[in-house]
Amino acid sequence: MNPPPQTPAQRPAPRDPAPETDVLGTPETRLRTAGAPLGSTGASVPAPAAGVAGADNPFAATPFERTKRRRLKWNRWMMFGFCIILIVPLVAILADIFIKAAPVLSLDYLWANPENKGKGGGIWAPLVGTFYLVIGSLFFVAPIGILAAIYLNEYAKEGWLNRTIGITVTSLAGVPSIVHGLFGLGAFVLTMLPAINGALGLTSHKLEAGLLTASLTIAVMNLPVVITSTREALGAVPQAFREACWNLGATRWQTIRTIVLPNSFSGILTGIILVVSRAAGETAPILFTGVTFFKFVADEGLAKIFPYHPGEPFMAMSMHLNIISNQISRLPENMKYGSAAVLIALILFINSFAIVLRVWLRGRKRW
């Protein structure tokens, strides 16, 4: 063993590894360093004389603690680095799109209908189509998804049935959207529409694939997301609240209505608004179920605000962008980027709306 080094009386600089041996002086610190990688400090030493040890700071970091602190610091920088890697492409993409779109972006661009296969004019017809598609899909998915989640979380007993439904919902969330599109074609366009037409006895103005079938398809696609997020929101309400109500003789539904729903509302809403952006952005599910590249839309009046009958093809942002980006030749670059920018802005707007709403509702949380 080496002889004890001359330890400096003052505390060494934290980054300097050599004088760390001084903290080994007192018996207490030696206990704390048991098992620490002493070799890394360069000198493994027994306790110095008692007189020298008295000068030690008993709270000084042990070599083990210093190594740990270094490692934690390194970890933090690494995670920060990954975060940057994540953000840089996002900013780059947004900047690229919005800079290239800038020349065409204006209120007129939003308000005018596309002309000449999207080479001119604006974006109104697909924008309003996407709007009605989102509203239509919410009309189906919100009540069904929320009620299903309430049943699964509040009523259903733990058991194989509940577990099976849970697994089914999760699997459904993993199905590719084009598969949902094919399902919508088979179930809604080829089966449901002829049945409705037959039942109503329509011969001339038959219902075709359109907003109705596309909304239903999007709703089916988003159902698992709504169910899962709603279940999570309901599950975040402490069980003790429910038990307190049950002990007072409140029925399950009274408990849900008065305590559970008011306190999970913000979480449920967040889930709903997240599926809105999914509904606005997806092309594949609506490809076979009602969307079209071009449909004549009135340029003014009420018909411009309500351009689509639910039983006829409609235009949508995602489809419009898809076609003008790779199907139309000699289309000005700016028009493509303009359409992309509007779609992104729409989704960003909806998401920031969700965030603001959630922050506001969380501020009103009652426990």
The helix (H) or strand (E) run that includes residue 248 is none
- Smallest gap from Cβ 249 to another protein, in A, equals 3
Report d(CA 170, CA 258) in Å as an integer: 29
- Which of 3, 85, 86, 157 touches another protein by CB under 8 A? 157
For tokens 């559970």, what's the residue? Answer: 260
Subset of residues 259 to 278 that bind another protein, contact rule: CB under 8 A: 259, 262-263
Report d(CA 96, CA 145) in Å as an integer: 37
| Count of residues that bind another protein according to CB under 8 A | 22
Q: Is 155 in the site for another protein (CB under 8 A)?
A: no
- Which of 28, 243, 299, 333 touches another protein by CB under 8 A? 243
**Chain length of the chain:** 367
Residue 95: CB atoms within 10 A of its CB come to 10
User: Which residues partner with 120 through β-bridges?
Assistant: 115
The stretch among 79-87, 135-143, 156-164, 188-196 that binds another protein (CB under 8 A) is 156-164
* SS3 assignment, position 314: strand
The stretch among 2-10, 109-117, 187-195, 256-264 that binds another protein (CB under 8 A) is 256-264
Q: How far is CA 360 from CA 229, 267, 270, 357, in A?
A: 19, 12, 12, 5
Contact 328, 118 (CB under 8 A): yes
Report d(CA 19, CA 55) in Å as an integer: 14
- Smallest gap from Cβ 254 to another protein, in A, equals 5
Subset of residues 328 to 367 that bind another protein, contact rule: CB under 8 A: 365-367
Q: Is 254 in the site for another protein (CB under 8 A)?
A: yes
Per-residue interface string for the shown chain with another protein, residues 84-123, x marking contact by CB under 8 A? ----------------------------------------
Residue 111: CB atoms within 10 A of its CB come to 13
Q: Is 256 in the site for another protein (CB under 8 A)?
A: no
* SS3 assignment, position 366: coil
Burial group, residue 289, by CB count within 10 angstroms (0-12, 13-18, 19+): buried
- Which of 2, 204, 247, 329 touches another protein by CB under 8 A? 247
- Which of 246, 306, 353, 360 touches another protein by CB under 8 A? 246
- Smallest gap from Cβ 263 to another protein, in A, equals 6
In the complex, which residues of this chain contact another protein (CB under 8 A)? 157-159, 240-241, 243-251, 254, 258-259, 262-263, 365-367
